[in-house]
Structure 1
């Protein structure tokens, strides 16, 4: 294996909403001095562009046009993973209720997915010091050749608790929304099924530092075996 493969690893973190992918991925990226990419934020930014264009998220052709016409920019620093839509910072706005309700529909658009996956793969290729990529179809679609593949999961109650705390929402309503999104996303990805070749980590009772330690151990073992 080439030397730069070891020094610039690609780590793919898959799993359902609320499993802790973002926190774990950002912490890991900081620990190994790598870039960080939240692909879910990319679909949210695309959805915001659709809503701003006053396009019905179910209208496939119009959605595709709105997304391709928008200028979407994403920061890959774990300290500042920003999202910009047409030059305006949208990091907070993409987490709002309107975007959350529509994102699964926009993400189900095959042309939009193809467009964003190509952008995700471009950003991965530009990460000279390695990158931690997180999302719902990373291991099998976006980065199938990743050096380390992790499927991060947690029980539904814990996932809802974390997400509710993150966005300041009611826990019961959040659990229902997560169930809705899992169902909707299952039409295009397999958020509840561990990808082939991925190491499954159940984070229900594990603090972030322990989850990160487990992934660091996988990286260390890879270096030793290589």
Structure 2
């Protein structure tokens, strides 16, 4: 049976850097409270995939800004089977590839891309009613009025180990890539990675997925006096 959440409608914002456990935790939490699930990072990855497909340089902000509005994105919000389609093509696997991963920070930093994606994300949140949203600027920018804002973090070593295991990659190379993305995402002008002032910070370095989800459920029970 799904957990009850305050007032029926509930928006949970889960932010944090790569490898902090956002995706698995968010999907598990969404399933536990019978909510929808939105991976905003997948949206930026899908745009990046389309940009590369058009043959556009990820550093060419002007060209990206001109074509981003022409990209047709379909985002599935079922936590059991999230899906992403770009221009009619299922790209769930493609957007996790090395070419997209290397380019996504640059594409996501283009103001026109962020403006369009944030607007789309807010539409999805408004329509869902009950939803867990993960990303890098959800609590601070996309959904500042979320019922619960969480910022997940973990040590650099733990994040690198998790991500390298997920993609069967070299740990040292993965750590270097994560450091590069952290610096880029935190310093960009448009909606940088940052913790919302009222977010609950949870270090997942020594915690298992079930422990993190249990902690978030406890926080939700306490939200506005709600009970589970």
Give TM-score, length-normalised by structure 1: 0.94
- Listed as ranges, the matches of 1:1-226 within 5 Å are 6-128=7-129, 130-188=130-188, 189-191=191-193, 193-224=194-225
What is the CA–CA distance in structure 2 between the aligned matches of 1:214 and 1:59, rounded to whole Å? Answer: 42
What is the CA–CA distance in structure 2 between the aligned matches of 1:6 and 1:168, rounded to whole Å? Answer: 42
What is the CA–CA distance in structure 1 between the aligned matches of 2:203 and 2:192, rounded to whole Å? Answer: 17
| Structure 1 moving runs of 4+ over 6 Å | none
| Matched-pair contact (CA < 8 Å) for 1:53–1:66 | no
What is the CA–CA distance in structure 2 between the aligned matches of 1:225 and 1:126, rounded to whole Å? Answer: 22
Deviating more after overlay: 57-66 vs 31-40: 57-66
Deviation digits for residues 133-176 of structure 1, max 9, x if unmatched?
A: 00001111000000000010000000011111111211111000
* Deviation (angstroms), 1:62: 1.1
The size of the alignment, in residue pairs, is 221
| Matched-pair contact (CA < 8 Å) for 1:49–1:66 | no
What is the CA–CA distance in structure 2 between the aligned matches of 1:65 and 1:137, rounded to whole Å? Answer: 23
* Deviation (angstroms), 1:190: 4.4
| Matched-pair contact (CA < 8 Å) for 2:21–2:152 | yes
Give TM-score, length-normalised by structure 2: 0.93
Unaligned runs of 5+ in 1: none
What is the CA–CA distance in structure 2 between the aligned matches of 1:15 and 1:6, rounded to whole Å? Answer: 26
What is the CA–CA distance in structure 1 between the aligned matches of 2:213 and 2:26, rounded to whole Å? Answer: 8
| Matched-pair contact (CA < 8 Å) for 1:108–1:187 | no
| Matched-pair contact (CA < 8 Å) for 2:6–2:223 | no
What is the CA–CA distance in structure 1 between the aligned matches of 2:222 and 2:6, rounded to whole Å? Answer: 14
Give the alignment's Cα RMSD to 1 decimal. Answer: 1.5
What is the CA–CA distance in structure 2 between the aligned matches of 1:184 and 1:224, rounded to whole Å? Answer: 38
* Deviation (angstroms), 1:70: 1.3
SS in 2 for 1:6: coil
